[in-house]
Amino acid sequence: MNRMDNALSEYLFHQGTNFHAYAYLGCHASCVADGWEYVFRTWAPNAAGVAVVGDFTDAWQGAIPLERISEKGIWQGRYRSPASLAGQKYKFRITAQDGTVRLKGDPYAFSSEGGSGGASLVCHESEFVFSDGEWMEGRHAALGNGNMDLPINIYEIHAPSFARHHDGRYYSYRELAEVLVPYVKYMGYTHVELMPLCEYPYDGSWGYQIGAYYAPTSRLGTPDDLRYFVDRLHTAGIGVLMDWVPAHFPKDAWGLYEFDGMPLYEYQGYDRMESRGWGTRFFDVGREEVQSFLVSNALYWLREFHMDGLRVDAVASMLYRDYDREAGEWFPNSMGGRENLEAIAFFRKLNSAVQEEMPDVLMIAEESTAFPGVTAPVIEGGLGFRLKWNMGFANDFFEYLQKDPLYRRYHHNALTFPMMYAYSEKFILPISHDEVVYGKGSLYRKCFGSHEEKLETMRAALTFIMTFPGKKMLFMGTEFGQENEWYYEVGIDLHLLEREDHRSLRDFTAALNRFYLAHPALWERDFTPDGFSWIEVDRADDNTVSYCRKSSREELLVVVSFSGRTIEDYRLAVPSAGVYDVVFFSGSWGEQYEKTLQAGTDEQGCALRLRLPPRTAVILSRRAEGVALTL
Catalytic positions are 313, 366
Distances (CA, A) of 181 to 231, 468, 475: 11, 27, 16
In this structure, the strands spanning 239-244 and 191-194 are parallel
Q: Under 8 Å CB-to-CB from 56, ≥6 apart: which residues?
A: 79, 81, 85, 88, 90
Taking a C-beta distance cutoff of 8 angstroms, is the pair 567, 544 a contact?
Answer: yes
Within 13 Å and on the Cβ side, how many CA atoms surround 520?
A: 9
Please tell me the distance from the alpha carbon of residue 528 to that of residue 192, in angstroms, as a whole number.
26
Q: Under 8 Å CB-to-CB from 346, ≥6 apart: which residues?
A: 246, 285, 286, 291, 294, 318
- What SS3 class is residue 437? coil
**Inter-axis angle of helices 451-467 and 500-518, to 10 degrees?**
10
In this structure, the strands spanning 555-561 and 544-550 are antiparallel
- In 154-287, which residue ranges form alpha helices assigned H by DSSP? 159-162, 173-187, 223-235
- Cα 151-157-160 angle, rounded to 5 deg: 155
Q: Residue 607: enclosing H or E segment and its boundaries?
A: strand 605-612
Closest by CA to 161, choosing from 149, 151, 171, is 171
**Helix then strand then coil, % of the chain, to nearest 5:** 30, 25, 45
Please tell me the distance from the alpha carbon of residue 150 to that of residue 359, in angstroms, as a whole number.
15
Please tell me the distance from the alpha carbon of residue 112 to that of residue 90, in angstroms, as a whole number.
9
- What SS3 class is residue 363? strand
- In 108-254, which residue ranges form alpha helices assigned H by DSSP? 133-143, 159-162, 173-187, 223-235
In this structure, the strands spanning 471-475 and 427-431 are parallel
Please tell me the distance from the alpha carbon of residue 9 to that of residue 30, in angstroms, as a whole number.
18
Closest by CA to 356, choosing from 144, 142, 148, is 144
**Inter-axis angle of helices 173-187 and 500-518, to 10 degrees?**
70
- What SS3 class is residue 602? strand
Residue 201 backbone zone (phi > 0: left; psi -120 to 50: alpha; other: beta): alpha
Distance, C-alpha 36 to centroid of its chain: 39
Distances (CA, A) of 24 to 19, 72, 199, 435, 570: 10, 15, 20, 40, 67
- Neighbour-count burial of 183, counting CB atoms closer than 10 A to its CB (0-12 exposed, 13-18 middle, 19+ buried): middle
Please tell me the distance from the alpha carbon of residue 564 to that of residue 404, in angstroms, as a whole number.
8
Please tell me the distance from the alpha carbon of residue 160 to that of residue 173, in angstroms, as a whole number.
9
